[in-house]
């Protein structure tokens, strides 16, 4: 084997109406962590899907261990020692964790599956990566972060020479991220190469040996991570300086209370209890807290997705009875969910259908949908958000994660909501697209709309919120004004019942 375990030379990939990859090269050394960075739509995931056999390159060559390979299927990639942890998880939720891990390669005893051997193999694997999960529990009962760790363990189980990790920490807490880094160090010691895709700059500078940056489907360059800073990475990713990560605030929230929540409780044993807060017109109220703080559960209840057993919700001084999302939409409340793949997009439908699906009635006349009206609305809403798509007929699943998020935001903006609830609105989105979403948020509050934003990214929580409500284990532990808030205060409130 030469200096590189992997060489991807001049890879080109064309989809109808768009050149996704234009002569992109990537060279990875054995035992290294090689970060792959770029804005959403830069082509990172497309390049990795060519390596993993999901897509077939239209030009260029892939060399593994010094030998040219034409990788036609994911099974072939796995046989060649390449495994991939995808950004969007697709577990078989109604089957046990162990079956999700060994699917397609169950240990057998004659013609029957050897369940005992599968349990033992899974336990040994979890021990190797220091993961405390029962192999026999259903995958659907696990949290997003535990599903992510199971997926990482599954990749390790293939004894791969190269593991592609696409946004592996997007659902992980700080402690779980450190756990992942320990696993990565162990894999490096065995000579395994990691290709690491992430938008988290601090993470990249901590874990990576080399960094390759892509822009608009083209190769920008490769550098030693030790030579780079956050500002340099951003400059090379977006092709321009971004001295401010957040737009300047040119608005002032009013004193009018648009939403008043009092003593809200959902059914025990584990959920939010006694939550009270006010949301003002033209305000961004941030909600901070750690995994398990019940922030998502709270906003889902306000949107009619979860049962409320006690407490009241008022909008503009009038009591509301929200039993379903339809009731919430009727009250001009919108919710952008945390898990866009599971609860947001319709992957096999077009960008057009995904954009207008909530607002269909507005384009119906005499019981007939007017396609021209639908198309115009979808085009205008997506143009405002600068969504990158060849056209409105493109399948939603073919867009990058960040552009899918923009379509979902475009969907809700068409309903003209008074209150927009954003649950991790920039999760898995690059710095340039984040800034665009922040600008839209500012524009909405300037128009008198109100926003509730859940964010696990401390800079975002501090940089975008007018006030911050912090939760810990289902209870509100404090409120902070943005001018006085810092990360230490937020963390003190977020861990109040854990100390």
pLDDT band of 1, cuts 50, 70, 90:
very low
Helix axes 115-128, 144-157, angle to 10 degrees: 100
User: Is the model's pLDDT at 342 over the cut of 70?
Assistant: no
413, 376 in Cβ contact below 8 A?
no
| Sheet with 275-280: strands ordered across | 275-280, 257-265, 310-315, 318-319
Q: What is the dihedral of CA 151, 153, 155, 156, to 10 degrees?
A: 170
List b or e across 403-418, with b for residues whose CB sees 16 or more CB atoms inside 10 angstroms: bbbbbbbbbbbbeebb
User: Is the model's pLDDT at 179 over the cut of 90?
Assistant: no
The more confidently predicted of residues 487 and 171 is: 487
- Residue 244 zone, left/alpha/beta (φ > 0; ψ -120 to 50; rest): beta
Q: Which of 278, 272, 262, 277 is nearest to 295 (CA)?
A: 272
pTM over 0.75: no
Whether residue 269 is preceded by a cis peptide bond, meaning omega within 30 degrees of 0, is yes
Instruction: For the chain, list the domains and their CATH numbers.
Output: 6-91+142-238 (3.40.50.300), 280-307+320-494 (3.40.50.300)
CA gap 156, 234 in Å, rounded: 31
| Residues facing residue 335 across a β-bridge | 421
Q: Mapping DSSP to helix (H, G, I), strand (E, B) and coil, where does residue 467 land?
A: strand
CA gap 413, 407 in Å, rounded: 10
pLDDT at residue 164 in the model: 94
Share the mean pLDDT of the chain: 87
DSSP output for 393-455:
TSBGGGS-HHHHHHHHHHHHHTT--SEEEEESTTTT--HHHHHHHHHHHHHHHHTT-EEEEE-
Q: What is the mean pLDDT of residues 369-392?
A: 82
197, 402 in Cβ contact below 8 A?
no
Q: For 418-446, how does the pLDDT look when each residue is reduced to its tens digit (9 = 90+)?
A: 999 999 888 767 677 788 889 889 999 99
Return all residues near 137 (Cβ < 8 A) that are at least 6 apart: 96, 97
User: Is the model's pLDDT at 409 over the cut of 90?
Assistant: no
User: Is the model's pLDDT at 341 over the cut of 70?
Assistant: no
CA gap 237, 186 in Å, rounded: 30
- Kindly state the tokens that stand for 282: 């033209």
- Kindly state the tokens that stand for 28: 């990875």
Q: What is the mean pLDDT of residues 180-192?
A: 89
Q: For 283-297, how does the pLDDT look when each residue is reduced to its tens digit (9 = 90+)?
A: 999 999 877 789 999
Q: What is the mean pLDDT of residues 122-139?
A: 88
Q: For 202-215, how does the pLDDT look when each residue is reduced to its tens digit (9 = 90+)?
A: 888 999 999 999 98
Q: Which of 396, 25, 49 is nearest to 212 (CA)?
A: 25
The more confidently predicted of residues 360 and 355 is: 355
Quick one: 469 exposed, middle or buried, by C-beta within 10 A (0-12, 13-18, 19+)? Answer: buried
């Amino acid at each position: 084997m030469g200096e590189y375990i992997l060489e991807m030379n001049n890879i080109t990939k064309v989809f109808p109406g768009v050149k996704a990859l234009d002569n992109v090269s990537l060279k990875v050394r054995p035992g290294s962590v090689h970060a792959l960075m770029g804005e959403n739509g830069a082509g990172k995931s497309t390049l990795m899907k060519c390596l993993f056999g999901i897509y077939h390159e239209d030009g260029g060559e892939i060399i593994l261990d010094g030998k040219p390979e034409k990788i036609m299927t994911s099974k072939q990639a796995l046989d060649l020692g390449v495994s991939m942890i995808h950004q969007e998880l697709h577990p078989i939720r109604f089957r046990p964790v162990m079956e999700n891990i060994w699917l397609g390669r169950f240990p057998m005893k004659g013609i029957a599956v050897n369940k005992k051997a599968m349990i033992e193999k899974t336990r040994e694997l979890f021990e190797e990566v220091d993961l405390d999960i029962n192999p026999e529990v259903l995958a659907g009962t696990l949290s997003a972060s535990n599903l992510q760790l199971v997926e990482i363990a599954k990749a390790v189980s293939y004894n791969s020479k190269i593991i592609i990790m696409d946004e592996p920490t997007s659902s992980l807490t700080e402690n779980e991220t450190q756990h992942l880094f320990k696993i990565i160090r162990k894999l490096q010691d065995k000579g395994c190469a990691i290709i690491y895709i992430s938008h988290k700059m601090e993470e990249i500078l901590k874990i990576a040996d080399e960094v390759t940056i892509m822009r608009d489907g083209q190769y920008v360059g490769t550098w030693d991570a030790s030579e780079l800073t956050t500002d340099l990475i951003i400059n090379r990713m977006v092709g321009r300086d971004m001295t401010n990560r957040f737009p300047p605030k040119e608005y002032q929230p009013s004193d009018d209370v648009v939403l008043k929540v009092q003593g809200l409780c959902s059914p025990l044993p584990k959920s939010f209890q006694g939550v009270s807060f006010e949301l003002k017109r033209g305000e961004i109220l941030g909600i901070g807290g750690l995994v398990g703080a019940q922030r998502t559960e709270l906003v889902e209840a306000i949107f009619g997705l979860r049962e409320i057993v006690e407490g009241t919700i008022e909008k503009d001084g009038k009591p509301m009875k929200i039993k379903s999302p339809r009731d919430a939409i009727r009250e001009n409340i919108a919710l952008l969910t945390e898990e866009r793949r599971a609860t947001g997009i319709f992957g096999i439908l077009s960008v057009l259908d995904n954009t207008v699906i909530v607002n269909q009635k507005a384009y119906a006349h005499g019981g007939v949908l007017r396609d021209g009206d639908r198309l115009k609305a979808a085009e205008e809403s997506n143009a405002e958000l600068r969504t990158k798509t060849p056209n409105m007929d493109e399948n939603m699943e073919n867009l990058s994660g960040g552009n899918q998020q923009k379509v979902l935001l475009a969907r809700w903006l068409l309903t003209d909501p008074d209150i927009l609830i954003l649950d991790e609105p920039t999760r898995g989105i690059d710095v340039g697209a984040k800034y665009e979403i922040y600008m839209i948020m500012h524009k909405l509050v300037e128009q008198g709309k109100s926003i509730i934003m859940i964010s696990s990214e401390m800079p975002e929580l501090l940089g975008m919120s007018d006030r911050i409500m912090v939760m810990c284990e289902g209870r509100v532990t404090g409120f902070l004004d943005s001018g006085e808030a810092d990360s230490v205060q937020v963390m003190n409130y977020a861990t109040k019942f854990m100390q």
